[in-house]
Structure 1
Amino acid sequence: MIDKIKENLKEHIGKEVKIVFNGGRNRIEEYNAIITQMYNFVFVVKLLNDVNETKSFTYSDVLTQTVEIYFK
């Protein structure tokens, strides 16, 4: 299952995505970002904001729906 997630994300490296992160306790964060790098256990996104911030997430976050990714 995680391999399928990796393959899907690999097709979208360098492309814009919308990420919804459920941090628990009614804390939901939304980001517009570009997938920049992929590693064995995490992937890195560059946020499209004024601060030029990066965030990393695990593939298991996507599997457990803690992180939802919407491709544009």
Structure 2
Amino acid sequence: MANKNPLSTIKANVENHIGKKVRLKANKGRKKTTIREGILESAYPSIFVVKIDGGYNSVRRVSYSYSDILTETVEVTVCDEERKIQIS
């Protein structure tokens, strides 16, 4: 039997962790990386959304595509289990 599409596997992994606290490590280019923590809020057919508490009663939502995880532009770690969501 053929392997599943890697993007659909990543999407399924992300959907399993909706509502959990995650740590995002995003590569912004030119040796710049940002690390943020937030709640995995929702998953859509081509993107997922993370809600980040910005302090001072502000909430920020950032979205990434599943291909960002595939190309390792973004690393998503579930804080409860310290397990990376990646192709399995």
| Shared fold (TM-score, shorter chain, > 0.5) | yes
Length-normalised TM-score, structure 1: 0.94
| Structure 2 unmatched runs, 5+ | 1-5, 80-88
Are 1:47 and 2:72 an aligned pair?
Answer: no
2:45 partner letter: N
Q: Which runs of 4+ in 1 moved over 3 A?
A: none
Identity of aligned residues (%): 36
Deviations 1:35-59 (A, max 9, x none): 1111111100001331211100000
| Structure 1 unmatched runs, 5+ | none
Length-normalised TM-score, structure 2: 0.78
Which residue pairs with 2:35 in the alignment? 30
Rg bigger for which structure? 2
Q: CA RMSD in A?
A: 0.8
Aligned residue-pair number: 72
